[in-house]
Chains A and B, each alone.
Chain A
């Protein structure tokens, strides 16, 4: 019955989830595919947990039901764990290998989970870890981490790399086009596995 390819992009307000979902949407327009997406607004740059739903080929609503996403892209490792229930067992996740401890852990004296604990929590999924900060720095700016992540996830997305690159050029600030193109390519050629 399923006619769409459903991607959930998650992260922290300010990391560029909306821009990444815009790239996917514009690539759909370039390929003539219908697309629906839903965004978190009002939390931009305020450090909250954010999510963007993108449904490639969808004709109806913009919301992805938990347990039915085809791909989870997490800009933060801890957020990957927070949203893993959107994937079915064995589902595919491409995640940043690092995470930012939420301020709540300092304010409320909570235990900060460590990376290995989080990875254990992701067991049962097909996981690719990406050191987005390092790869973005290699591309020329740590601000391009969202495009690195998108590049890394792009091999699993039913859109052509040409359409995606065209969309990247359309969505990012003009003077950063070159860096972001490079970020996309570096992300796309990064190693699989974790």
Chain B
């Protein structure tokens, strides 16, 4: 037993080590990524870890490991669970023999996500248990127990932390790292693992028969518990439970839901002892709907009564406000505080020297009237450069682009997609576009790594999650194998070459692929790569502002002249852009 100051995801990873984990796979996605990053960076590692090409691939790998008696972890962010939803649903029928924990991190307020969906709905849909931690300590304890619960019911168990668990830190009491590891061994049982209709009908009945036992067990294990203190009560789940505990008076009853499915008898027992009940939860009204099903006399407040917001994340102040609306007096009131207005925004931007910036610049220069579908990754920040017209989900830039063209859109369509995203779900879209005769340009922004989520390796990097060297795939060969005739790889720092390649692509019909290849500036710097910074010759600078519109954070303006700051990474693209020839490598005149 040791107490350490840990990030939620670090505490979760440690819980996995304490549970003797044998196998871990996932696809990076904020706020889930650090769990596998921490597992793979263990000095002494006696289990298998991989970053898979997408969530479905990762899920099926982990499922197979759990069919072979291993304790397997699959990690994703909520939207990635959509990609793995197909195997998730059927794996509830087949079950597992080892332990399978499905970590799907939700992101209330969409801090870094395209939607605010609720993983608890997937648990209900698939009819598998779901654990929902309220604090970092609980996240650590729960994930450790999740493996045992999975083995007890022979079912995948969903573990659903949220951003404020994953990316919160606290003092955490840890247990000992386990040393027992299992060697995978598959026991043939076609009735269990071959889901032909005759088998699946039987498996579905078995899955339904497990539900009642699971509900009772979750109450027994203490995940769902209540304290009766008065005639009014609050029921809360997940991290919202800790916000409630901060502001709840001593005479209001409190029930905490930490796991699903909820036992209706237990829930009814709590609700019936109160005249008024407030349900506090983030995202979907999952608990509230269960409360409303069992409530006969009690008045219920929550999202459906307009007391708790449907969107965004909660906070102690938000909970206090909901309590006031429901007529419950919180112990603290929070003064309304609004931010000062009119401060220039400071959104995240592409790094100084990021190769995506010049790719967007060249794209817009050549395709002035173009339409630019894009995808999920750092390059979505190209929005600020006018280079991103659509973003929906991983892999959808090429499919959205070809759909636009096939619907009759006459303007040029130029899609952007990163290397990791292209490998994730871009390839099927590309071969579909080529085979069905779309006319468009695809720019693969190849920075050799999955940068946005924290620089995880992918099959284009040349190293595995375990740190072993592997042969990087050839994006060029994949594109040619998909049937693309025009495939050009260019250095995006070479602006004249980039512009001429874009012009060539514009002249041709069919699907054209331009691979803009240059390592991510952050990973290049970490690898010790140094480029001389650039500087402005103030005598030559006319203050025209062309470099300014390039949007590089290393370019500032001082006394109406351009100024290159210490952030300069030495990519040199601004020197090519400057019409006065005023930007040069430092120390050169």
Contact = CB atoms under 8 A, between A and B. Distances in A.
Contacts of A83: 339
Interface in B513-544: 522
A121 B168 CA distance: 30
A60 B332 contact: no
A66 B346 contact: no
A78 B342 CA distance: 11
A36 B169 contact: yes
A47 B348 contact: yes
B245 interface: yes
B337 A66 contact: yes
B316 A61 contact: yes
B384 interface: yes
A28 B3 CA distance: 11
Contact of B338 (A21, A22, A37, A85): A85
Interface in A104-126: 104-108, 110-113, 121
Contact of B169 (A25, A33, A60, A78): A25
B553 interface: yes
A68 B334 contact: yes
B453 A42 contact: yes
Contacts of B316: 60-61, 63, 65
Contacts of B555: 106
B343 A78 contact: yes
A36 B168 contact: yes
A78 B346 CA distance: 10
Interface in B1-55: 3-5, 7, 30-31
A104 B168 contact: no
A34 B137 CA distance: 12
B340 A107 contact: no
Given A29-B5, A82-B340, A106 B335 contact: no
B551 interface: yes
Nearest to A67: B337
Contacts of B349: 46-48, 103
Nearest to B313: A63
A121 B112 contact: no
Contact of B339 (A22, A25, A85, A102): A85
Contacts of A36: 136, 168-170
A47 B357 CA distance: 15
B242 interface: yes
A157 interface: no
A128 interface: no
Contact of B315 (A25, A65, A110): A65
A47 B3 contact: no
A8 interface: no
A39 B556 CA distance: 28
A42 B30 contact: yes
Contact of A60 (B7, B242, B336): B242
Interface in B451-500: 452-454
A103 B551 contact: yes
A102 B169 contact: no
A34 B246 contact: no
Given A26-B5, A85-B338, A106-B556, A61 B548 contact: no
A81 interface: yes
B529 to A, nearest CB: 15
28 contacts: A1-B331, A33-B171, A35-B170, A36-B136, A36-B169, A37-B169, A38-B164, A39-B7, A39-B169, A40-B167, A41-B30, A45-B522, A47-B349, A48-B346, A60-B245, A61-B135, A61-B316, A62-B168, A63-B315, A67-B334, A67-B336, A78-B343, A82-B339, A101-B344, A102-B344, A103-B553, A105-B344, A107-B384
Interface of A: 1-2, 12-13, 21-22, 25-26, 28-29, 33-43, 45-49, 60-63, 65-68, 78-79, 81-86, 88, 101-108, 110-113, 121
Which 9 pairs between the two chains have the least Cβ-Cβ distance? A48-B348, A67-B337, A66-B337, A65-B317, A25-B5, A62-B168, A102-B346, A46-B348, A49-B346
